[in-house]
């Protein structure tokens, strides 16, 4: 509880607002990065990460994921995701710059990031929780978005639904019981949308962070 109180104070000092949702907390800033800085980061993020189209297991069968992904982090920050264990690629300059900005603003050290690249409206992410054992009992997830705005949906265990428009330069921080009580998704859209890169920074081996 003390850790969450400290995180909340630092988020507010950094310009984030706490959303009035149960079983969080959730902190949100629609323009955490100024336009020019967000533009430069998006250009770098298109080129730097080790983008690939990994395979996901659904109902016992493997399928190509509907997006490009990359896993980067500190040595040893391996992570089991979509049925596969991923060893981290080294930090790139752009990923390290975003990581360091978040560490300074939130007062938290992140040792890995899952990068997802949504090429158009057909690329998506299904309903899930970021609740893998490597992230600890109450994961802290910092989600940074660059590029085209996409609709982010959340669904509570008891039925409550929420949505956010994750735009260029936005930051969403999810902490506490957010991953135990809520699922989230980024659905497909038939609207013409440009490319988007999302970075979810994590603390793998959270007890050590």
Q: Is 35 helix (H, G, I), strand (E, B) or coil?
A: helix
Identify whether the C-beta of residue 204 lies closer than 8 Å to the C-beta of residue 134.
Answer: yes
pLDDT score for 164 = 98
Q: How far apart, in whole angstroms, are the C-alpha atoms of residue 83 and residue 180?
A: 19
Token couple for 188: 């497909």
Mind listing the pLDDT tens digit of every residue in the chain (209 residues)?
668 989 999 999 999 999 999 999 999 999 999 999 999 999 999 999 999 987 666 555 666 778 999 999 999 999 876 667 789 999 999 999 999 999 999 999 999 999 999 999 999 999 999 998 899 999 999 999 999 999 999 999 999 999 999 999 999 999 999 999 999 999 999 999 999 999 999 999 865 44
What are the b/e assignments for 148-185, b being 16+ CB within 10 Å? bbbebebbeeeeeeeebebbbbbbbbbbbbbbebbbbe
In order of their start, the domains of the chain are 2-51+64-208 (2.60.120.590)
C-alpha separations of 96 from 14, 41, 44, 89, 131 in Å: 19, 11, 12, 12, 24
pLDDT at 208: 41
Q: Indicate the DSSP class of residue 91.
A: P
- Is 89 strand, coil or helix? strand
The answer to whether the CB of 164 falls within 8 A of the CB of 189 is: no
List the one residue out of 140, 123, 128 whose CA is nearest residue 202: 140
Three state DSSP letters for 117-138:
EECCCCCCEEEECCCCHHHCCC
Confirm if 55 and 62 have CB atoms less than 8 A apart.
yes
């Amino acid at each position: 509880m003390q850790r969450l109180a400290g995180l909340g104070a630092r988020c507010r000092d950094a310009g984030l607002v706490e959303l009035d949702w149960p079983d969080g907390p959730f902190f949100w800033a629609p323009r955490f990065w100024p336009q020019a800085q967000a533009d430069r980061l998006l250009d770098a993020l298109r080129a730097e990460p080790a983008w690939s189209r990994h395979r996901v297991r659904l109902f016992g069968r493997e399928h190509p994921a509907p997006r490009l992904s990359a896993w980067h982090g500190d040595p040893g920050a391996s992570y089991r995701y979509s049925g596969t264990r991923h060893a981290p690629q080294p930090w790139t300059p752009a990923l390290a710059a975003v990581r360091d900005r978040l560490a300074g603003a939130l007062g938290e050290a992140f040792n890995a990031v899952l990068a997802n690249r949504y090429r158009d409206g057909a690329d998506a992410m299904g309903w899930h929780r970021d609740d893998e054992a490597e992230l600890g009992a109450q994961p802290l997830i910092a989600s940074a978005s660059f590029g085209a705005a996409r609709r982010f949906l959340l669904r509570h265990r008891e039925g409550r639904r929420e949505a956010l428009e994750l735009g260029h330069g936005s930051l969403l921080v999810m902490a506490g019981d957010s991953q135990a009580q809520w699922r989230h998704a980024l659905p497909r859209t038939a609207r013409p949308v440009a490319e988007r890169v999302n970075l979810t920074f994590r603390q793998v081996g959270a007890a050590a962070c």
